[in-house]
Amino acid sequence: MQTAIHDSGGRLTLGDLAAAERLGAAVAARLQTGDAVLLRGDLGAGKTTLARAILTALGHRGEVPSPTFTLVQSYDTPRLAVAHFDLYRLKSPDEVRELGFDDALAAGAALVEWPEQAEGHMPEERLEIALTAEPRAATLSGTGRWADLAAAIAGEAA
Ligand SMILES: Nc1ncnc2c1ncn2[C@@H]1O[C@H](COP(=O)(O)OP(=O)(O)OP(=O)(O)O)[C@@H](O)[C@H]1O
Ligand SMILES: [Mg+2]
């Protein structure tokens, strides 16, 4: 059922790390348990950098290593539990369940790099952020409760 789900959003340039931090803070301010943030973009597009900015804005202090090899890193931030996934090395889409994807959404929010590796397992309601390195930019879109929030975030972080 696609009722009451529509896309909206906006594009913003991310010229430097401070711009990524602004976007991360605008996303973090709206993040709740059950939310999925899909971070799309080629190698080096800035997905981990944005995940780091979101975690920092949620109050996490300390490192945010790329989950390239662990595939998932979990955080208990002061505000929210967050699971940071990098599905690039996923062997099959179903493996995302073994990584605890559903439990992560039940317990908190999920930030997902390379969601296309398990597209069928991603929730319909999500915030999508498509990143590019040349030029550094982000395009936001959302479905469900994120439809209006995507536009608000793009406006706030611009
Ligand atoms: N907005 C930005 N401004 C300047 N440099 C950035 C920005 N975003 C990311 N970078 C830099 O680009 C490089 C790659 O970023 P990052 O690791 O976040 O990419 P990624 O999309 O997660 O890559 P991968 O697909 O390998 O996981 C890093 O050196 C990072 O510091
Ligand atoms: Mg990465």
Q: What is the CATH number of the domain that holds 45?
A: 3.40.50.300
Q: Is the pLDDT at 5 greater than 90, yes or no? A: no
Looking at this protein, which amino acid is placed at residue 15?
G
Containing structural domain, residue 28: 9-157
Asked, for residue 115, whether it belongs to a domain, the answer is yes
Residue of 16, 21, 48 best suited for mutating to test ligand 1, as the one with most atoms within 8 Å of CB: 48
Residue 3 lies in a domain: no
Cα dist. 49→24, 68, 102 in Å? 9, 13, 24
DSSP 93-134: TTHHHHTTHHHHHHHSEEEEESGGGGGGGS-SS-EEEEEEET
Ligand nearest to the CA of 42: 1
Q: Is residue 1 part of a domain?
A: no
Pocket test for ligand 1, best of 22, 49, 113 (most atoms within 8 A of CB): 49
Q: What rounded mean pLDDT belongs to the chain?
A: 94
The tens digit of pLDDT for each residue in 95-127 reads 999 999 999 999 999 999 999 999 999 999 999
Q: Are 129 and 38 in contact (CB under 8 A)?
A: yes
92 close to 64: Cβ distance less than 8 angstroms: no
- In-domain check, residue 77: yes
Which tens digits make up the pLDDT trace of 129-156?
A: 999 999 999 999 999 999 999 999 998 8
